[in-house]
Chain A
Amino acid sequence: AQSVTQLGSHVSVSEGALVLLRCNYSSSVPPYLFWYVQYPNQGLQLLLKYTSAATLVKGINGFEAEFKKSETSFHLTKPSAHMSDAAEYFCAVRSNSGYALNFGKGTSLLVTP
């Protein structure tokens, strides 16, 4: 079964610092991978997705992620954190039983002044 593991349930960075949120996947077939963001009391919003077209994927709000097959990773990065980036971030992989997504447990990003 397809699954993802997010390393670190809480990450804290200073404003202006690099953001790195880690996600490793397990998949028996080439995966479709996603990063979603959830702001407080809101639904999930797609940040970016990997569908095998390019290994470096650029998303909204300055985020990007790189698919590394050798490391089974799909880490999310942003060069300079803003206060508005504080949110919960979810990595997900499309399940092989259909169109459902298997989510990681989430990483809460705190940005400090």
Chain B
Amino acid sequence: NAGVTQTPKFQVLKTGQSMTLQCAQDMNHEYMSWYRQDPGMGLRLIHYSVGAGITDQGEVPNGYNVSRSTTEDFPLRLLSAAPSQTSVYFCASSRTSGAVLATQYFGPGTRLTVL
């Protein structure tokens, strides 16, 4: 299993540009989520999904859109990038039942810089 994969690893955008951060998992996990990590802030939840077709907002959703058309993929869209969105973005997934309940598996991250 590849686990949780994220592309790209690095990205530089100009203010106002749009882009999509890709996230995929091959563990058949129902739950997927996006976090951003900023220095001294820990990780903060942006959006999450408990299954295909179901998404919801986390702690810091403004400026980001998500969709979940398949179990495997959970892309994060920035419609109009702002310098405040400069961050490291992590995708995570987990099962929603069973002995490994709530153990989240993280991707390697995407480092985004908005100029």
Contacts and interface: CB of A to CB of B under 8 A. Distances in A.
Interface of A: 9, 32, 34, 36, 42-46, 49, 51, 90, 94-95, 98-106
B42 A43 contact: no
* Size class of the contact patch on chain B: 20 to 34
Nearest to A44: B106
Contacts of B40: 9, 105-106
A98 B50 contact: yes
A95 B50 CA distance: 14
Interface of B: 4, 31, 33, 35, 40-45, 48, 50, 56, 58, 90, 92, 94, 96, 101-109
Contacts of A101: 43, 45, 102, 104
A49 B63 CA distance: 32
B48 A98 contact: yes
Contact of B108 (A36, A42, A51, A90): A42
A36 B94 CA distance: 15
14 contacts: A32-B101, A43-B4, A43-B106, A43-B109, A44-B43, A44-B92, A46-B104, A98-B56, A99-B96, A101-B45, A102-B45, A103-B43, A103-B44, A104-B42
Given A32-B102, A51-B101, A43 B96 contact: no
